[in-house]
Structure 1
Amino acid sequence: MAARIALFTRDLRIHDNPLLSGGDGIVPLFVLDPRLGGLSANRQRFLHQSLADLRSNLREKGADLVIREGDPVAETARLAREMDTSSVVLAGDVTDYAQRREQRLRDERLDVEIVSSVTVLPPGAVRPGGGGNSYRVFTPYFKSWEKAAWREPSATPRKIAMPSGIAPGRLPKLPAGESPDAIPGGETEGRRRLRSWSQQISRYGDDHDDLAADNTSRLSAYLRFGCLSPLELALAARADDSPGAAAYLRQLAWRDFYYQVTAAFPKISTQAMRPNADQDWRTDEDALKHWQDGLTGVPIVDAGMRQLRAEGWMHNRARLITAAFLTKHLGIDWRPGLQWFFRWLIDGDVPNNSGNWQWTAGTGNDTRPYRRFNPIRQAQRFDPEGVYVRRYVPELKEIAGGAVHQPWRLSEPARRGLDYPGPLESHRDEAVWLRD
């Protein structure tokens, strides 16, 4: 069999990776695109750690990871000419960037094979009745997703026969990142965390919204870069009969849901899915900066925004609260918020980050687009003793219990001792949550 290039993109693993199936003569390739290098220092660091781990794992199998830098299509075509092959295999993806890359590879007269490894089900595998290309509502999608036939996991190769004489290239220098408490990248670390998480999954249904308990998998970044297989996680969750595993399986389905949404609506990061709801946004750079810095004066919002900066990650409940505060209470366009998340989130990808922002802003797939998230009620429900807030907002660490969520209600002497701002004025309602 002629040698082929396995072009790694967002599948940086050797377990359940269809790129590594199909016999001998595989040349694993990753191309560092300098156009993407400045988008997020946190994701760049995680990526480079993941590449180093992938190279180590491939070397244990007798192969190597070829590293090139430049335009991914041009570098892939150049390597194909060097190898005298036209065969390229890569994972299917849904973003504008990925679709253009695939088409340009074909324009180079390469024989491109697309495999499914980024999601449990590839977009288009299930479709709504009536001839639609994608589901716009999650529940019917989930019902079809559960019943669909999933592919069989790919076996992990014992050995990989890679042609000789190909210079592997150097690993990129590890960037510093911006978040001091960010998790490390790589399949090895991801699988270690997965083993630990599997012991806790039964509690996920009860605890995943508990901000203080922090009983979520924290595997999202490893899924985003493909250090872990979403299919592998879904199969394990489906085999577990606990309510927690069922709740986690539903979250994996949400991930797939937004991929099929993005495949049908590739402008999801810049254009509203419901244009009639994408009006009346106001511009307030000062309020936006306070929100970015975690200085809105609403503790549950500030805790989430500070967790984002410290860890390059934010609890999903806090993501909903902070996004709703920016759009529904401050009345600020969802796109600056989306871009701020993209800068910091290690797990930030187009389908899920953009899909969730549009859902929260009321411009996307939410069937109740005008819903409000009262931040104080959310805090009292999901952080009743204020443990999460005090963890990330040290200015309030001396305020005991749930009183930490409304410092403006403290006595005058207690407020004078706080180095913490009052709450930003709301521009989308009458700030009922201030009076509740």
Structure 2
Amino acid sequence: MRTAVVLLTRDLRVHDNPALTAACRADRVVPLYVLDPKLAGLSPNRTRFLHQSLADLRDSLRRIGGDLVVRHGDPVTEAVRVARDTGAETIHLAADVSGHAQRREHRLRAETGPHRIGLGLHPGLTVVDPGAVRPGGGGACYKVFTPYHRAWSGVRRRAELPAPERIALPDGLDTGRLPDIPGGESPHAAEGGETAARRRLSLWSRQELAGYEDAHDDLPGDATSRLSPYLRWGCLSPLTVAETARKQDADALVRQLCWRDFYYQVARVYPKLSTEALRPAGDRDWRYDDDALQHWQDGLTGVPVVDAGMRQLRDEGWMHNRARLITAAFLTKHLGIDWRLGVRWFSRWLLDGDVPNNSGNWQWTAGVGNDTRPYRRFNPIRQALRFDPDGVYVRRYVPELKGIDGPAVHQPWRLPETEFRNLDYPGPLESHRDEAVWLR
């Protein structure tokens, strides 16, 4: 009887999981997740979401006769050990683009070879494989979105895969204990897992998807999909979301998925996206002001829409896409503070924080990344009046301002007990048409 291991990483689902489907061609399958202590504690919010997702995945696998095998330690060492102990011929894995993922892949190749264990890499983290389209004039990746979008739109997509009907584990295999689910830091964070993801997609696509193009930037309406955490962990296949949008002619959502793929193909070539600017000439002399950074982090800048966004981040482990653009631009373009500090703060709190999208969008907003107009600036007051005209979003997250009615709530304010000095705040700025690039 043939045995295969599928090393699950950011594909925590049974539906449309190419690595799992490939492993199921063997007679016995070991769905394996390895908890790497090197990655523990980076974000309490994401740790909770991950552990919820693993518990849900185990339930799903048990319903079809299998189980989730859990190990602790180095993923490469543990995967090879499990493969040897079970006599597996192949280890299957979803291809990924981060520096950490690429190092893991290289080590797996080196470790599996001497034991005559095959290594199968599969798509599944993006709609279109990061290496599938390249600029016609040469170059490793597209650096501008519009031509990438044209090329991406013309790629023939793979077919969606159903969940396996049945999985059989090797006899006598110790499946291991699931990790405890910690409390996290954000009290109103979304629940992790494929079950919650598919429920969210089904409900949102029926109620909100048709109006997405007109409503996705509306701050108080909150008509965004909120699917990004599930895509980040692979609880939901991006191809499934794209196909759901295609069936309803929701091109605006498909475009957002293309933006997500865009940054994956960038990160594949530039794995140091979190620390090194793609446009070094724009990586100017940044300010390093601990007080200003702290007030931004705490949502106490005195600019209501900025403070509302930063408080939503802490409360939910998520932030509306438009608010992400406004808060990131305020830190980099108004306060002049290094974008890398913003990357770290968002990465700590965001359930959907990952290298390609979090870091790529911070670079875009700071003017050091993939942007043909790197000097664009967002006027936060104008943005607030346009996307939260009655101040509903601001009052939702900044209770100190609940007594102020209508658009007057958007005027800069200062808490009386705060000694936050007035930073240089520019007047009306030139208005630009802007792309909202964080996936909603």
- TM range, normalised to the smaller chain? over 0.9
Q: Counterparts of 2:418 and 2:377 in 1: how far apart (Å)? A: 23
Task: Decide which of 256, 259, 265 is 2:264's aligned counterpart.
Answer: 259
Task: Decide which of 180, 188, 204 is 2:187's aligned counterpart.
Answer: 180
Residues 199-235 of structure 1: CA deviation (Å, up to 9, x unaligned) = 1101110110000000000011011000001001111
Out of 98-107 and 78-87, give the one that drifted further: 78-87
Amino acid aligned to 2:14? I
Amino acid aligned to 2:188? D
SS at match of 1:21: helix
Which structure 1 segments of 5+ residues have no match? 409-414
Task: Decide which of 125, 129, 134 is 2:136's aligned counterpart.
Answer: 129
Deviation at 1:83, TM superposition (A): 1.1
Q: Is 1:431 aligned with 2:436?
A: no
Q: Pairwise mapping of residues 14-413 of structure 1 onto structure 2 (< 5 A)?
A: 14-22=14-22, 23=25, 24-108=27-111, 109=113, 110-199=117-206, 200-241=208-249, 245-408=250-413
Q: Counterparts of 1:343 and 1:95 in 2: how far apart (Å)? A: 17
Normalised by the length of structure 2, the TM-score is 0.93
Q: Counterparts of 1:308 and 1:379 in 2: how far apart (Å)? A: 17
Q: Is the 8 A contact 2:401 2:409 kept in 1?
A: yes
Amino acid aligned to 1:3? T
1:13 aligned partner: 13
Deviation at 1:425, TM superposition (A): 3.8
SS at match of 1:231: helix
Normalised by the length of structure 1, the TM-score is 0.94
Q: Is the 8 A contact 1:297 1:424 kept in 2?
A: no
Q: Is the 8 A contact 1:209 1:382 kept in 2?
A: yes
Residues 254-275 of structure 1: CA deviation (Å, up to 9, x unaligned) = 0000000100111100000000
Q: Is the 8 A contact 1:298 1:423 kept in 2?
A: no
Deviation at 1:426, TM superposition (A): 4.2
SS at match of 1:6: strand
Amino acid aligned to 1:281? W
SS at match of 1:26: strand
Q: Counterparts of 1:11 and 1:250 in 2: how far apart (Å)? A: 22
Deviation at 1:56, TM superposition (A): 0.3
Q: Counterparts of 1:193 and 1:423 in 2: how far apart (Å)? A: 40
Deviation at 1:67, TM superposition (A): 0.1
Q: Counterparts of 1:422 and 1:315 in 2: how far apart (Å)? A: 29
Q: Is the 8 A contact 2:19 2:121 kept in 1?
A: no
SS at match of 1:328: helix
Q: Is the 8 A contact 2:2 2:89 kept in 1?
A: no
Deviation at 1:314, TM superposition (A): 0.1
Q: Counterparts of 1:14 and 1:342 in 2: how far apart (Å)? A: 27
SS at match of 2:312: helix
In the alignment of these two chains, the number of paired residues is: 422
Deviation at 1:336, TM superposition (A): 0.7
Amino acid aligned to 2:63? E
Q: Counterparts of 1:265 and 1:161 in 2: how far apart (Å)? A: 40
Q: Counterparts of 2:409 and 2:325 in 1: how far apart (Å)? A: 20
2:437 aligned partner: none
SS at match of 2:10: coil
Q: Is the 8 A contact 1:304 1:319 kept in 2?
A: yes
Deviation at 1:9, TM superposition (A): 0.3
Q: Is 1:4 aligned with 2:4?
A: yes
Q: Counterparts of 2:318 and 2:7 in 1: how far apart (Å)? A: 28
Which structure 2 segments of 5+ residues have no match? 432-440
Q: Is the 8 A contact 1:212 1:387 kept in 2?
A: yes
SS at match of 1:28: strand
SS at match of 2:319: coil
Q: Counterparts of 1:122 and 1:167 in 2: how far apart (Å)? A: 35
Deviation at 1:422, TM superposition (A): 8.7
Q: Counterparts of 1:204 and 1:120 in 2: how far apart (Å)? A: 19
SS at match of 1:30: strand
Deviation at 1:192, TM superposition (A): 0.7
Amino acid aligned to 2:286? W
SS at match of 1:159: coil
Deviation at 1:19, TM superposition (A): 2.0
Amino acid aligned to 2:288? T
Q: Is the 8 A contact 1:5 1:89 kept in 2?
A: yes
Amino acid aligned to 1:55? R
Deviation at 1:131, TM superposition (A): 1.6
Would you identify which runs of 4 or more consecutive aligned residues in structure 1 move more than 2 Å? 418-427
Amino acid aligned to 2:240? E
Q: Counterparts of 1:76 and 1:46 in 2: how far apart (Å)? A: 23
Amino acid aligned to 1:11? D
Deviation at 1:2, TM superposition (A): 1.9
> Could you say if the C-alpha distance between residues 426 and 141 of structure 1 is closer, same or farther in structure 2, counting changes exceeding 3 Å?
farther
Q: Counterparts of 1:178 and 1:321 in 2: how far apart (Å)? A: 23
